[in-house]
Amino acid sequence: MTETVRACPDCGEVTDIFRRMPGKGASHHDERAPNWRCSACGAEFDEPDEREKRAEAPPITGPAAALVEASAEDVPGGAD
Ligand SMILES: [Zn+2]
């Protein structure tokens, strides 16, 4: 299963886009509004892009990685 998020077609912003009603302030948020606006770059569009939501999972490095690699026998006092 792939999660998707709405993104600005212009700059790719995913958090600062919202619908707006024509004739109202750009910051007005209304779920019924037909248009979208990106507050990051100011682009307006009918439909936002949809992109794959990326899971932020940086690789484990440093001392933590060594702990992950180690088995019980490698840890002093970890096994009798
Ligand atoms: Zn944008």
Domain boundaries along the sequence of the chain? 1-53
List residues, by chain if needed, whose CB lies under 5 Å from ion ligand 1.
8, 10-11, 13, 38, 40-41, 43
Burial grade of 17 (CB within 10 A; 0-12, 13-18, 19 or more): buried
Task: Indicate the pTM of the whole model.
Answer: 0.50
Degrees, nearest 5: CA angle 22-24-30: 80
Tokens of 70: 């180690």
Distance 39 CA to ligand 1 centre (A): 7
pLDDT tens track for 3-53? 888 999 999 998 888 876 555 555 555 566 678 889 899 999 988 999 888
